[in-house]
Amino acid sequence: MAMKWDKGKTFYLVFAFVFLSTCVFPLFGIYSFGINGGVVDEVFHRIGRVLSLIDVSVFFLLTVVEIVSLFFDKGASIKTLFITIALFFYSLTTYDSLDFLMDIVPEMSQYPFTVRIFDIANFISFYFGAYFFFSYVFDLFVNPISKAEKWSSLFGFVLVCVLHFVFFYFNIRYAGPVILFIFYTWLCTRSIVFAIRTKKADFTFVCLMIIGICMLAIFLNETHDHYVGVYDGALYSSLLFFIIAVCYLTIYFRFVLIATLKSYREEAEAKKVRELQTNILKNQVSPHYLFNALNVIKTLYGESKDQGDIALDLLSRHLRAYTKAADTILVPLREELGVVSDFVELEGLKYAKEIEVIYDIESDDFPVPYFSLQPLVENALKYSKIMDKKDGCLTIRAYQDGDKNIIEVIDNGIGFEPTLRNKDSFGLKNVRERFEILLNANFEVMSKLGEGARIRIEYPIEKPNQMKGEDK
């Protein structure tokens, strides 16, 4: 599936960077170095306040932009507005922002309850923002997301929120490891869901689980040390925890997430192809088409039994191909040409005209999407007016050139001015998309007014992307 890059994505990547940088900073500054008080702490504290001010301003601006774009940009998503609002509140309620606020309004410090409310708002907005951000990016890159994935993500996030809140109040010094631990829990849930869904518990999965257990052990050890009063804010354990977390994330992103994204992309492509095929099939046997064909058959039976039999056989074959198409994605070109030829013959009987079609076929054993050439021929007959022209003719050419399969549909009809052509017709667009998704094809439409038109489809000889397994 081709991925389009737009300014929205750049915008959100910058936004993610700002957000993550402010999250990682205190982790290094306070927890990893294990230093409390003194000059270094003071420096970090000041930098933190400046960063929080930048955060608040950036998120406020983004929120305004989002609200404005919601009114003026049709493609704007409400989800992105939720992200900016959530993160604006998050940045507004951090301790740094709170310190800032208390400098301005010193009376606030007299009411601890206010601070508690700020804490809760901070947690809730952080996770709302993070969840909407995750969900938006996922929709953007791997649309559509499956139900199982949605529920497992939601479950992971709820778990993160609850655990983080509990642990945060247990001891503030643990916020860094707790965030990582909770993040791990969420990823771990997803890894397990992934393993169950793909029925694949391979070496990578085992590694993830082992590292996960290590992280859990370190976290519990630190918690225990602190609880019994022997915790010394040891540098090595926090660093170890951090390194293991990085290892975990590297493996996770390298193997699990990439595989998940790939499978979602394939699933999305398969769904798209089925949708396209259903749409094209809906047009094939419409009541209008069917009753017209039956009318022709009835007329021909009136003229001669043999002619009636021929027309009936053609319609039967067309209907059989149609019913088979429901569970067939790719067929050999030979089979598709059979569908085309039956269609052309039936059209000839319908209009009582001989339609001149030349089958210039050098090779016909390569795959094509089912019911893909027939709409092209139908289109050509409809728009090229070759049936009204004395030497009107349609040529279907198929051959292999080097490592390419090439199919051409050429007519010598009235043609069209390419610059005046706004977009593909429904049938052409549908066929183009199926060829592109299934066979990585290059699809070209060429025409000159008065000189006919040519459609050229070119794709690699090697095995198609997927879906062979779905063919029955």
Residues binding other proteins (CB under 8 A): 310, 312-313, 316, 320, 323-324, 337-338, 341, 345, 358-362, 364, 395
Pairing type for strands 357-361 and 394-401 reads: parallel
Please state the φ and ψ torsions of residue 374, each to the nearest 5 degrees.
-60, -45
**Which one, 42 or 306, has the nearer CB to other proteins?**
306
Minimum distance between the CB of residue 131 and other proteins, rounded to whole angstroms? 47
Q: Smaller CB distance to other proteins: residue 417 or 470?
A: 470
User: Measured between alpha carbons, how far is 209 from 219 in angstroms, rounded to an integer?
Assistant: 15
**What CA–CA distance (Å, rounded) separates 372 from 336?**
8
Work out whether the CA dihedral 156, 157, 158, 162 comes out positive or negative.
positive
The nearer residue to other proteins, 101 or 361, going by C-beta atoms, is 361
Which of 47, 116, 59 shows the shortest CA–CA distance to 91? 59
Single-letter amino acid code for the residue at 175: A
Rank residues 109 and 328 by Cβ distance to other proteins and give the closer one. Answer: 328
Contact 372, 335 (CB under 8 A): no
Closest CA to 297 of 280, 310, 283, 284: 310
Residue closer to other proteins by CB (options 136, 322) is 322
Residue 150 makes CB contacts below 8 A (sequence gap 6+) with 135
Smallest separation, CB 327 to other proteins (Å): 9
Q: Which amino acid is at 283?
A: N
* In the complex, minimum distance from the CB of residue 443 to other proteins, in angstroms, rounded to a whole number: 23
How far is 122 from 109, CA to CA, in rounded Å?
17
- Distance CA(293)–CA(349), nearest Å, equals 9
Nearer to other proteins, 338 or 460 (CB): 338
Residue 57, SS3?
helix
Distance CA 344, CA 454 (A): 18
Residue 393 CB, nearest approach to other proteins (Å): 11
CB of 201 to other proteins, least distance (A): 33
Minimum CB distance to other proteins, residue 215 (Å): 51
Shortest separation between residue 428's beta carbon and other proteins, angstroms? 24
Closer residue to other proteins, CB minimum distance, 274 or 397 = 397
